[in-house]
């Protein structure tokens, strides 16, 4: 009887152990499934985070570029409004009479040109240069055997550039 009792106890223990093992395996499987779900969720959130960071960097770069362009455009607009004044001062200098008034205008023109140069404004070379439609506006064409083809022979209005941007095209006469 004692043997039977011991055998029964052993069988019960084996059954309990088997049940506990089955429960533990089921728990492990549930934990693995939960871990897989959490990993997927983490991967999705991490991917969203990386995309958001990339979008933000693109936004910063784009707004900085827009700011820079706005500054250059405002500067170019201001300079373009000053150019007619410079043209008129240079026409005043073209008069032949010498006077203290003319000397004063020369100093003003010199100072204005120096200021524009400090801002990055430069005059577009014209007379004697090859015609470039990106820099010059041809308002007249002449036939001249002595001149090469597409050479600028006369400039009617000076052109100016602000760094790499054309503010005003040179109005020129081109020989064909």
**What pLDDT digit, counting tens, does each position of 15-74 carry?**
777 677 767 676 777 788 888 889 999 999 999 999 999 999 999 999 999 999 999 899
What DSSP state is assigned to residue 108?
H
How far is the C-alpha of 142 from the C-alpha of 140, rounded, in Å? 7
Closest CA to 160 of 95, 99, 113, 97: 113
DSSP-derived pairing of the beta strands 170-175 and 136-142: parallel
Count of positions (residues) in the chain? 176
Segment 91-136, tens digit of pLDDT = 988 887 888 888 899 999 999 999 999 999 999 998 888 899 999 9
Max CA-CA distance within the chain?
Answer: 144
The HSE-up count of residue 157 (CA atoms within 13 Å, CB side) is 18
Q: Picking from 99-108, 140-149, 153-162, which range would have the lowest pLDDT averaged per residue?
A: 140-149
pLDDT at 80: 93
pLDDT at 161: 94
Which 3 state secondary structure label does DSSP give 171? strand
Token output for 62: 């784009």
pLDDT at 64: 95
Which 3 state secondary structure label does DSSP give 119? coil
C-beta atoms surrounding 28 within 10 Å? 10
Token output for 8: 């029964």
Residue 2 confidence (pLDDT) above 90: no
Calculate the CA 29 to chain-centre distance.
Answer: 53
Residue partners of 137: CB distance under 8 A and separation at least 6: 159, 169, 170, 171, 172
């Amino acid at each position: 009887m004692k043997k039977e009792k011991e055998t029964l106890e052993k069988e019960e223990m084996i059954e309990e152990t088997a049940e506990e093992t089955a429960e533990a395996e089921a728990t492990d499987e549930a934990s693995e499934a939960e871990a897989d779900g959490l990993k997927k969720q983490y991967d999705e959130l991490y991917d969203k985070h990386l995309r958001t960071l990339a979008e933000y960097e693109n936004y910063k770069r784009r707004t900085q570029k827009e700011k820079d362009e706005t500054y250059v455009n405002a500067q170019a607009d201001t300079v373009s409004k000053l150019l007619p004044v410079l043209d008129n001062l240079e026409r005043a200098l073209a008069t032949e009479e010498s006077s203290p008034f003319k000397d004063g205008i020369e100093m003003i023109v010199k100072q204005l040109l120096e200021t524009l140069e400090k801002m990055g404004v430069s005059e577009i070379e014209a007379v004697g240069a090859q015609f470039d439609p990106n820099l010059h506006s041809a308002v007249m064409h002449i036939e001249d055997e002595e001149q090469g083809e597409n050479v600028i022979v006369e400039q009617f209005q000076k052109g100016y550039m602000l760094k790499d941007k054309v503010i005003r095209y040179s109005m020129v006469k081109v020989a064909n």
